[in-house]
Structure 1
Amino acid sequence: MFAPLRLLFILLIVLTVVYVLVSLYSRAVRKSKLRRHWKQKGLTVDRDEYVQRGLKKYDGSIRRKLILLVYIIPLGAIGLLVYVMNFM
């Protein structure tokens, strides 16, 4: 009984680490794209202000929410596998 719970706990820790790493990477990529866009367009707005506004928009975007699939897909696959093996 405790072995599956321990495995689930370890899996959640690993998935949390993966989520944080993917989230930080995605934010860094977005930040570099905003800086590159500012430089290419030669905008008159302060660069840091432009990047902060872009990151604020990114925080509310669907792309940021899609990173939650890091949790949903593996846990859903495990749940489906358990269901299929036990009840079909």
Structure 2
Amino acid sequence: MFPLIRLLFILLIVLTVVYVLVSLYSRAVRRSKLRQHWKQKGLSVDRDTFVRRGLKKYDGSIRRKLILLVYIIPLGAIALLVYVMNFM
């Protein structure tokens, strides 16, 4: 039991690092796309305001929530593997 807990603890640390990196990368890509959109359309709104509003919408989007699959898929796979190996 102790090796499993140790494995899960290390895995959670690694997955947290991966989650933070993917989240920062996704946000940077979105920011870049918003700046490009502002430049192409030549909008009258201040660029920083436009980007801030776009990122606020992005924070509530489904795409942002899908990044949580970084936690769910590996932990679910391990849980399934433990169940199959022990109870089937």
Q: Quickly name the TM-score band, shorter chain normalised.
A: over 0.9
d(CA) in 2 for partners of 1:9, 1:67: 20
CA offsets per residue over residues 34-88 of structure 1, 9 Å max, x none?
A: 0000000000100000000000000000000000000000000000011111111
TM-score (norm 2): 0.98
Aligned to 2:73: 73
Are 1:85 and 2:69 counterparts?
Answer: no
Q: How many residues align?
A: 88
Percent identity reads 89
Query: What is the Cα deviation at residue 2 of structure 1?
Result: 1.8
Unmatched segments (≥5 aa) in structure 1:
none
Query: What is the Cα deviation at residue 30 of structure 1?
Result: 0.2
TM-score (norm 1): 0.98
Stretches of 4+ moved more than 4 A in 1? none
Tell me the C-alpha RMSD between the 2 structures.
Answer: 0.6
